[in-house]
Chain A
Amino acid sequence: MGFYVLRRLLALIPTLFIASVIAFTVVRLVPGDVLDLMLSENVYSSGAPEDRAQLEQALGLDKPLYQQYLHWAGDALQGDLGESLWRNTPVTGEIAARLDVTLELGILALLIALAIGLPIGIFAAVRQETLGDHIGRTFSILALAVPNFWLGTLVVILPALWWGWSPPNKLVPFFENPLENLKTFLLPSLILGTSLSAVIMRMTRTMMLEVLRQDYIRTAWAKGLRERRVVLMHAVKNAMIPVITLVGILVPILFGGTVIIEQIFRLPGLGQLLLEAVSTRDYPVITGVFLVTGVVVMLVNLLVDLCYGYLDPKVRYDR
Chain B
Amino acid sequence: MSLSIQTPAAAAPATPPRRRTRPKTLRFLQRLCKERPLGALGAMICLVLLLTGLFADVIAPEGFNAINPIERLKAPSAEHWLGTDQLGRDVFARIVHGAQLSVIVAFAATTLSIVISALLGILSGYFGGRLDMVIQRLVDGWMCFPDLILLIVAVAVLGPGTWQVILILGLLFGISGSRIIRGAVLSAKQNVYVHAAQSMGASSTRILLKHILPNVMAPLIVLYTTRLAAVILAESGLSFLGLGIPPPEPSWGGMLSLDGRSYMFQAPWLAIAPGIALTVAVFGINMFGDALRDLLDPRMRGGGGRYLARVKRTIGS
Task: Report A's interface with B, CB cutoff 8 A.
Answer: 14-15, 17-19, 21-23, 26-27, 29-31, 128-129, 141-142, 144-147, 149-150, 153-154, 156-158, 160-161, 205-206, 209-210, 213, 251-257, 259-260, 263-264, 274-275, 277-278, 281, 286, 289-290, 293-295, 297-298, 301
| A158: chain B residues within 8 A (beta carbon) | 268
Contact (Cβ within 8 A) A275 B241:
yes
Choose from A144, A209, A295 the contact partner of B286 (Cβ within 8 Å): A144
Give the residue name and chain of the B residue nearest to A274 (CB): B152
Kindly provide the distance from the CB of A296 to the nearest chain B CB, expressed in whole angstroms: 9
| B166: chain A residues within 8 A (beta carbon) | none
8 A Cβ contacts from B63-77 to A: none
Contact with A along B276-312 (1 / 0, CB 8 A): 0011101100110000000000000011110110000
Contact (Cβ within 8 A) B271 A154:
yes
Contact (Cβ within 8 A) B144 A294:
yes
Tell me, in angstroms, the Cα distance from A59 to B82 when the chains sit together.
53
**A-contacting 9-mer, from B6-14, B207-215, B232-240:** B232-240
Contact (Cβ within 8 A) B148 A149:
no
Kindly provide the distance from the CB of B240 to the nearest chain A CB, expressed in whole angstroms: 5
| With A15-B141, A206-B302 as contacts: A30 and B157 at CB distance below 8 Å | yes
| B308: chain A residues within 8 A (beta carbon) | 128-129
Kindly provide the distance from the CB of B311 to the nearest chain A CB, expressed in whole angstroms: 11
| With A145-B282, A147-B237, A150-B278 as contacts: A209 and B157 at CB distance below 8 Å | no
Tell me, in angstroms, the Cα distance from A157 to B152 when the chains sit together.
26
Give the residue name and chain of the A residue nearest to B260 (CB): A153
Give the residue name and chain of the A residue nearest to B154 (CB): A26
Tell me, in angstroms, the Cα distance from A209 to B137 when the chains sit together.
34
Tell me, in angstroms, the Cα distance from A251 to B143 when the chains sit together.
12
Contact (Cβ within 8 A) A27 B157:
yes
| B253: chain A residues within 8 A (beta carbon) | 147, 149
**Taking each of A27, A254, A290, which has the highest tally of chain B beta carbons within 10 Å of its own beta carbon?**
A290
| A252: chain B residues within 8 A (beta carbon) | 144-147
Beyond the given pairs A154-B272, A252-B145, A295-B144, 19 more chain A to chain B contacts, judged by CB atoms under 8 angstroms and listed by A's residue number, are A15-B141, A19-B141, A26-B154, A31-B157, A141-B283, A141-B286, A145-B280, A147-B237, A149-B237, A206-B304, A209-B304, A253-B147, A255-B148, A259-B241, A260-B240, A263-B258, A278-B153, A278-B156, A297-B144
Interface residue B261 (Cβ < 8 Å from any Cβ of A)? yes
Tell me, in angstroms, the Cα distance from A99 to B233 when the chains sit together.
26
Tell me, in angstroms, the Cα distance from A15 to B144 when the chains sit together.
9
Contact (Cβ within 8 A) B145 A147:
no
Interface size class of B (residues with CB under 8 A): 35 or more
- DSSP majority for the A interface? helix
Choose from A14, A210, A264, A293 the contact partner of B146 (Cβ within 8 Å): A293
Give the residue name and chain of the B residue nearest to A299 (CB): B144
| With A149-B256, A256-B147, A263-B258 as contacts: A129 and B305 at CB distance below 8 Å | yes
| A23: chain B residues within 8 A (beta carbon) | 145
Contact (Cβ within 8 A) B156 A22:
no
Tell me, in angstroms, the Cα distance from A224 to B286 when the chains sit together.
41
Tell me, in angstroms, the Cα distance from A42 to B206 when the chains sit together.
61
Tell me, in angstroms, the Cα distance from A252 to B302 when the chains sit together.
24
Tell me, in angstroms, the Cα distance from A147 to B102 when the chains sit together.
15
Contact (Cβ within 8 A) B145 A142:
no
Contact (Cβ within 8 A) B302 A286:
no
| B272: chain A residues within 8 A (beta carbon) | 154
Contact (Cβ within 8 A) B265 A149:
no
Interface residue B155 (Cβ < 8 Å from any Cβ of A)? yes
Interface residue B142 (Cβ < 8 Å from any Cβ of A)? yes
Tell me, in angstroms, the Cα distance from A29 to B167 when the chains sit together.
15
| A145: chain B residues within 8 A (beta carbon) | 229, 279-280, 282-283, 286
Give the residue name and chain of the A residue nearest to B145 (CB): A294
| A29: chain B residues within 8 A (beta carbon) | 157
| A275: chain B residues within 8 A (beta carbon) | 152, 241, 243
| B152: chain A residues within 8 A (beta carbon) | 259, 274-275, 278
8 A Cβ contacts from B245-264 to A: 253, 256, 258, 261, 264
Kindly provide the distance from the CB of B207 to the nearest chain A CB, expressed in whole angstroms: 27
Contact (Cβ within 8 A) A293 B145:
yes
Tell me, in angstroms, the Cα distance from A275 to B242 when the chains sit together.
10
Contact (Cβ within 8 A) B153 A147:
no
Tell me, in angstroms, the Cα distance from A107 to B152 when the chains sit together.
22
8 A Cβ contacts from B131-171 to A: 137-138, 140-142, 144-150, 152-159
| A157: chain B residues within 8 A (beta carbon) | 261, 264-265, 268, 271
Choose from B157, B268, B278 the contact partner of A147 (Cβ within 8 Å): B278
Kindly provide the distance from the CB of B86 to the nearest chain A CB, expressed in whole angstroms: 14
Give the residue name and chain of the A residue nearest to B148 (CB): A256
Tell me, in angstroms, the Cα distance from A275 to B229 when the chains sit together.
25
8 A Cβ contacts from B100-149 to A: 137-138, 140-142, 144-149
Could you name 11 residue pairs across A and B whose Cβ atoms are closer than 8 Å?
A15-B141, A26-B154, A128-B304, A128-B308, A129-B305, A145-B283, A145-B286, A147-B253, A149-B240, A256-B237, A278-B152
| A281: chain B residues within 8 A (beta carbon) | 156
Choose from B147, B233, B265, B307 the contact partner of A160 (Cβ within 8 Å): B265
Tell me, in angstroms, the Cα distance from A264 to B275 when the chains sit together.
15
Kindly provide the distance from the CB of A119 to the nearest chain B CB, expressed in whole angstroms: 18
**Taking each of B158, B159, B264, B304, which has the highest tally of chain A beta carbons within 10 Å of its own beta carbon?**
B304
Give the residue name and chain of the A residue nearest to B308 (CB): A129
**Taking each of A145, A160, A161, which has the highest tally of chain B beta carbons within 10 Å of its own beta carbon?**
A145
Give the residue name and chain of the A residue nearest to B258 (CB): A263
Kindly provide the distance from the CB of A104 to the nearest chain B CB, expressed in whole angstroms: 17
Tell me, in angstroms, the Cα distance from A111 to B137 when the chains sit together.
31
| With A27-B157, A141-B283 as contacts: A290 and B149 at CB distance below 8 Å | yes
